A and B are shown apart, each in its own frame.
Chain A
């Protein structure tokens, strides 16, 4: 009796472990499949023209130079708009409002903003910027990306500042240094790698965002540097080309997807590397 019960427990344990391993293989299987597809199709369709020519009309060959440029401009502008406010709000949470009701509310709302669907932010910026202006624009695109950057930077800044040992604040304050100077010259310096990591993670996230740009920057077949006009960008070009019936457009979409994936993975790995290196230095 006791023996069979033990056998049953062991069998259940073995089955559970087997299923857990199977689940992990299942999860990694998709990663390998998606990366392999992107790599395979992307490498086959990548060439110099991709980086030197503009997006072509249907049926013709071309590149995505204007889209790469547009994505770079809007992503950087999004960072420039979102990151400073994010760092300041993160400072507010960690240094001024930690454990106050206002701080807790802001932190809670920020966490929701962090995982809110990006399409909602796109619609928001549409009614905020595009509708009053009367037309789609690169500036509206950058603002919608800025709203995605904001919560990521708030969260990492908040967490990184709270990791700084209290003794560092106390030492600086006891020397008579005013609080703003303690924050700017001592705490920011100590948590700089963490804050940079947050900004890199935000960059990785917005460079692939499609939904918000669809309602704000839209797309542009031509080269433009005008921020008040619609501007081409990699995700929307990929979306439109992949949904089209033309083979030459599909090829370009794969090439764009390949470059985009490579960029996003490289940025996320760089962010991880910064965190890892700093953790070792602290230990």
Chain B
């Protein structure tokens, strides 16, 4: 055995080892980059918004003022609008999504499940600006001329809830924004629910059917309890999207900095305020306020999305994945 035949593979070994180490460093750096990205996003908005937060203090969160000329800002109107529109959206989207998921997993004949499922998922892929344009040019006139006058003259007269449903039929407003948001998040929630329902073991459902359960009883008493945490996770995922959605809401919300009880009146949301006013913000304080609003939005969606992921993971763990 000569020395050269030994050193050649040795040298190659050494090279492979160092490349291996380099590659490991490279992928680890990329992984850590993802962590850093999220942290940096939060920090950058806090940094940009600290001037506003320092000036207005915690009261920023519940002050109604919005005066770009006098440099006085409060976040209550956008926060209120965000919560109201997202609530309206979830009230519509959750039952509908549940119905779609039930249809796709239990009721529909096999040949129909694929195409309908695909169609629902495609709805999720349409850019939000298209929803916004459609909302502004098509939905707003229809609602303003045909639906809202009826709501105003009927539901508007009821005690207690009447205040929510009375107002001039502008077509724009928080109810419209909530409806467009609902249409946007239905595909998300429905496809998560369907995927989750499909993880229920066949024997579990079959035993229930064998005991004489109806389809509804199987879904409500077997499928839903088995998948409860993941279903709530899917709903939270939709909520996270509804809270942060920008373009669709900006088009139909009406951009009004007023606090009104009526859902038929224009309002504002955090995302819509930022989108409408950021490029026009002409002072440091104005821009800092909008970044502080962005930070608030980030915190809220972070909490909602983190809860969603934790609950989705719970089912995945039970599945042994």
A243 contacts B by Cβ under 8 Å: yes
| Chain B residues, CB < 8 A from A108 | 306, 309
Q: Give residues 103-134 of A contacting B (CB, 8 Å).
A: 103, 105-106, 108-113, 115-121, 123-124, 126-128, 131
Q: A12-B214, A20-B103 are in contact. Are A120 and B244 (CB under 8 A)?
A: yes
Question: A interface, how many residues as a size bin?
Answer: 35 or more
In the complex, chain A residues whose CB is within 8 Å of the CB of B129: 208, 210, 235, 238-239, 257, 260
**Could you say which of B38, B251, B302 contacts A242, with CB atoms under 8 Å apart?**
B251
A127 vs B40: C-alpha distance when bound (angstroms):
10
Cβ distance B75 to chain A, nearest Cβ, rounded Å? 15
Chain B 25-52 near chain A by CB (<8 Å), digits 1 or 0 = 0111111111101101100110110000
Q: Are B126 and A261 in contact (CB under 8 A)?
A: yes
Q: Find out whether the CB atom of A180 lies under 8 angstroms from the CB atom of B279.
A: no
Distance between Cα atoms of A120 and B301 in the complex (Å): 10
* Interface flags, B119-145, vs A, CB<8A=1, else 0: 110110111111111101110000000
- CB neighbours of B98 from chain A (8 A): 23
B105's closest neighbor in chain A, by CB? A20
Q: Judging by beta carbons under 8 Å apart, are A28 and B37 in contact? A: no
Contact A210 B246, beta carbon cutoff 8 Å? yes
Total number of residue pairs linking A and B with CB closer than 8 Å = 269
B34 touches A119 (CB 8 A): no
Contact of A28 among B102, B120, B125 (CB under 8 A): B120
Q: How far is the CA of A90 from the CA of B19 in the complex (A)?
A: 19
Nearest-CB distance from A276 to chain B (Å)? 10
Do B100 and A23 touch (CB < 8 A)? yes
Give the docked Cα–Cα distance between A151 and B41 (Å).
14
Interchain CB contact (< 8 A) of A123 among B44, B128, B305: B44
Which of these, A31, A88, A95, contacts B123 with CB under 8 Å? Answer: A31
Q: Which of A9, A26, A116, A242 contacts B96 (CB 8 A)?
A: A26
Q: Does chain A have a CB within 8 A of B107?
A: yes
Residues of B within 8 A of A (CB): 16-17, 19-20, 22-24, 26-35, 37-38, 40-41, 44-45, 47-48, 95-100, 102-104, 106-108, 116, 118-120, 122-123, 125-134, 136-138, 183, 186-187, 190, 214-217, 219-220, 237, 240-241, 243-247, 250-251, 271, 274-275, 278-279, 290-291, 294, 297-298, 301-302, 305-306, 308-309
Q: List 26 A-B contacts (CB under 8 A).
A: A16-B102, A20-B99, A21-B107, A23-B100, A27-B97, A27-B123, A27-B187, A28-B119, A31-B123, A41-B137, A85-B33, A93-B31, A97-B28, A112-B306, A119-B244, A120-B298, A123-B274, A128-B40, A128-B44, A178-B16, A208-B129, A211-B275, A235-B247, A239-B250, A260-B130, A269-B122
List 9 A-B pairs, minimum CB-CB distance, nearest first: A208-B127, A117-B244, A23-B99, A88-B30, A13-B214, A92-B31, A180-B23, A92-B27, A16-B216
